[in-house]
Structure 1
Amino acid sequence: MNTFDIQPVNSNTAAALTHKINYKTKPLGALGVLEKIALQVGCIQDTLAPALHHPAIVVFAGDHGIAKEGVSPYPQEVTYQMVYNFLQGGAGINVFSRQNGIAIKVVDAGVNFNFEAHPDLINAKVGHGTKSYLTGDAMSEAECSTAIDKGAAIVKEICAEGCNVIGFGEMGIGNTSSAAIIMSLLCELPLEQCIGRGTGLNDEGLKKKTAVLTAAMDYHANLDKTPFNILKTFGGFEIAMICGAMLKAAELKMVILVDGFITTAALLVAAGIDTNVLDYCIFSHQSDEQGHALMLKKLKAEPVLHLGMRLGEGTGAAVAYPLIKSAVNFLNEMASFESAGVSNKA
């Protein structure tokens, strides 16, 4: 696995940015969360006049061996079928990205299907899905490292094309199971607080999912619980690629729009590798998937939106992006008391 050189955000700019924000023609703090976002983006870019260029969302798709254990109400084939939906422009992430001028990149990280070449599909396949972690590791060390490196390489290329604000989405039947175990181990929380209904399990399905994941954790009870080991043991190719993508985006000083439960699980791993990645993250929303609120609490993160969404695909990041843009625009375009000739409070 490549190493990453992530520098902490330059806090020296914060004082000047705060002054600029406070002296806009508005009551102090009147733009609420938008002011916090403006401050963060300005610090990330180390400027009083930040700009968002060529926003992109990368959707990584991968299959999971654990899906064959009945942890999802949907068959594994839905993963590749949804990739085709992304490529045809028919998914939720396509709709919201078109609306908000965000470029979409779709990546085959490890789908159990052989796609024909497509101009809008990046072939980064590490394997035809992970193995079931009920009886072994999901990935070998080499596979996990390769996935992390491929995610990083994809972001490096997107950044070179002029993008400086990026979000990540995912598609993979069974990936809420991986995310739940990753969360349980890295947040040190009971598994029951981390498992949710995923794509819509009923009570009986949720009970079965809990039993399967509990058995998997028992099987790996003696695991050396480093972030990398947890990822290779329980993760997915798409989750590993998102982890590498986030680390590289932070190294390149890009603004990272964090989506929901799965991508935040990838971020837990990334932050375990280098905590400085968190300086570059804006948390777009709080997912309705059980566990995400506790993930955000662990990361001391304040989500921009609470819309009860749990679609994945990067949809939360796409829906939140206009608010990030609003924060940058008010900072750059709103008059100050001095420039507008408006009296400030006494």
Structure 2
Amino acid sequence: MQFPPVEAPKQSHGHAVADALAGSTRGLALGRLGSLAAWIASVQGADVPAPFARPRAIVVAGNHGIAARGLSAWTAEAGSAQAEQLRSGAGPAHAAARLAGSSLRFIGDYLDTPTGAIDIEPAVSAQVWEAALAAGAEVADNEIDSGADILVPGDIGVGNTTIAAAVYGTFTRTEPVKAIGRGSGINDKVWKVKIAAVRDAMFRVRDFRDDTERVCAELTGPDFAFLVGLTAQAATRRTPVLVGEVYPTVAAYVAERLAPGTKGWLLAGQTTAEPAHTGCLEALDLKPVLALDMKTGQGAGALAALPQLNLAAELAGEVLAGGASSSD
């Protein structure tokens, strides 16, 4: 699908907020919170940033045929168990969402969708990937039309870091050994299995590695396509997206490839040691709010940063409105 052109955030508002904070005599040096406040003003198109009133987390579950290779510390059934926990109202994402003042929507449509083992065969057909991309865009539209003012994508899926590494390695020409990390906490033996899987997957797509959608259909799955569509469409609708873990971050990197300008609407909630994560953050020019190294998934790492954004907006609003008390 073709995404509409992405308009850049209103940088003039962000610059004005940054200048006002820098020149304030109220005695508050906000540091990084000040730059976050300026970013919020830019994406809100506001003279004074406001805390996000209706954040919405969207957690999508998927499965990967490559997980059968035993390249994770988790069994292939762990994804289904996490999904059931989330459906019951429990799990890391719900806990983080409650504390962050966010609502949460779970997408389980792709949990039972068959996907191929990417080291020897395509993950899904181009048609399946395209349909999931459009579904993600549709959910973005629905959520924004319902009043969401920031989206927080999350993921559930065994083998997600393997998929992320294969996509990152392919598009950035990074060797498999430098593209993968320890993911769920794998040992050296499993790490070698993971390297082989990513190497063979990247080799399969080498002749068309600049064809973004074809590569992604071969290497990812409908849950990944959904996240790409969600992120890209949010950007076209001038709605910010807060990413936290490696899978949504690599999806955001792909969204930028399909809808240039998307990165202007992105903020990184946290970072991990996964090379695909740090590499995509660098490519997107994103500086994480927190350094948590959370590999929990489900968007929990991004949700952990959301209160910091609202604090930044609240404090900046106090200074700009003249409501802060002065100090020496």
Alignment TM-score, normalising by the size of structure 2: 0.93
The code of the aligned residue for 1:38 comes to: A
Q: Is the 8 A contact 1:109 1:147 kept in 2?
A: no
Who is 1:90 aligned against? 90
Hey, what's the Cα distance between the residues in 2 that align with 1:206 and 1:341?
Answer: 55
The counterpart of 1:245, out of the listed 230, 234, 237, is 230
What do the CA deviations read for 1:143-182 (whole angstroms, capped 9, x no partner)?
A: 1111111011111111111111111000011111110011
The code of the aligned residue for 1:170 comes to: D
The code of the aligned residue for 2:81 comes to: Q
**203-212 vs 42-51, which moves further:** 42-51
Who is 2:208 aligned against? 223
Instruction: Give the alignment of 1:260-275 within 5 angstroms.
Output: 260-275=245-260
Hey, what's the Cα distance between the residues in 2 that align with 1:245 and 1:218?
Answer: 29
Q: Cα distance, 1:53 vs. partner? A: 2.2
Q: Is the 8 A contact 1:148 1:241 kept in 2?
A: yes
Query: Are the structure 2 counterparts of residues 334 and 274 from structure 1 closer, same or farther at C-alpha, using a change threshold of 3 Å?
Result: same
Q: Cα distance, 1:135 vs. partner? A: 2.1
Q: Cα distance, 1:134 vs. partner? A: 1.9
Structure 1: which 5+ residue stretches go unaligned? 113-127
- In the alignment of these two chains, the number of paired residues is 327
Q: Is the 8 A contact 1:288 1:309 kept in 2?
A: no
Hey, what's the Cα distance between the residues in 2 that align with 1:193 and 1:273?
Answer: 25
Q: Cα distance, 1:80 vs. partner? A: 1.6
User: Is residue 323 from structure 1 mapped to residue 308 from structure 2 by the alignment?
Assistant: yes
Hey, what's the Cα distance between the residues in 2 that align with 1:305 and 1:313?
Answer: 17
Hey, what's the Cα distance between the residues in 2 that align with 1:220 and 1:2?
Answer: 23
Hey, what's the Cα distance between the residues in 2 that align with 1:23 and 1:330?
Answer: 15
User: Is residue 187 from structure 1 mapped to residue 180 from structure 2 by the alignment?
Assistant: no
Instruction: Give the alignment of 1:1-346 within 5 angstroms.
Output: 1-26=1-26, 30-51=29-50, 52-112=52-112, 128-334=113-319
The code of the aligned residue for 1:74 comes to: W
Q: Is the 8 A contact 2:234 2:240 kept in 1?
A: yes
Query: Are the structure 2 counterparts of residues 85 and 92 from structure 1 closer, same or farther at C-alpha, using a change threshold of 3 Å?
Result: same
Q: Is the 8 A contact 1:249 1:256 kept in 2?
A: yes
Hey, what's the Cα distance between the residues in 2 that align with 1:63 and 1:160?
Answer: 29
Hey, what's the Cα distance between the residues in 1 that align with 2:24 and 2:64?
Answer: 50
Q: Is the 8 A contact 1:109 1:241 kept in 2?
A: no
Query: Are the structure 2 counterparts of residues 27 and 236 from structure 1 closer, same or farther at C-alpha, using a change threshold of 3 Å?
Result: farther
Q: Cα distance, 1:336 vs. partner? A: 5.9
The code of the aligned residue for 1:293 comes to: T
What do the CA deviations read for 1:214-238 (whole angstroms, capped 9, x no partner)?
A: 1222233322422222211111211
**Superposed CA RMSD:** 2.1
Hey, what's the Cα distance between the residues in 1 that align with 2:191 and 2:324?
Answer: 59
Hey, what's the Cα distance between the residues in 2 that align with 1:284 and 1:341?
Answer: 29
Q: Is the 8 A contact 2:240 2:266 kept in 1?
A: yes
Q: Cα distance, 1:280 vs. partner? A: 0.7
Who is 1:116 aligned against? none
The code of the aligned residue for 1:269 comes to: V
**181-190 vs 147-156, which moves further:** 181-190
Hey, what's the Cα distance between the residues in 1 that align with 2:276 and 2:220?
Answer: 17
Hey, what's the Cα distance between the residues in 1 that align with 2:269 and 2:11?
Answer: 22
The code of the aligned residue for 1:36 comes to: S
Who is 1:124 aligned against? none
Structure 2: which 5+ residue stretches go unaligned? none
Q: Cα distance, 1:335 vs. partner? A: 5.4
Query: Are the structure 2 counterparts of residues 15 and 78 from structure 1 closer, same or farther at C-alpha, using a change threshold of 3 Å?
Result: closer
The code of the aligned residue for 1:78 comes to: A
Hey, what's the Cα distance between the residues in 1 that align with 2:174 and 2:216?
Answer: 17
Hey, what's the Cα distance between the residues in 2 that align with 1:3 and 1:335?
Answer: 37
Q: Is the 8 A contact 1:24 1:336 kept in 2?
A: no
Query: Are the structure 2 counterparts of residues 231 and 342 from structure 1 closer, same or farther at C-alpha, using a change threshold of 3 Å?
Result: same
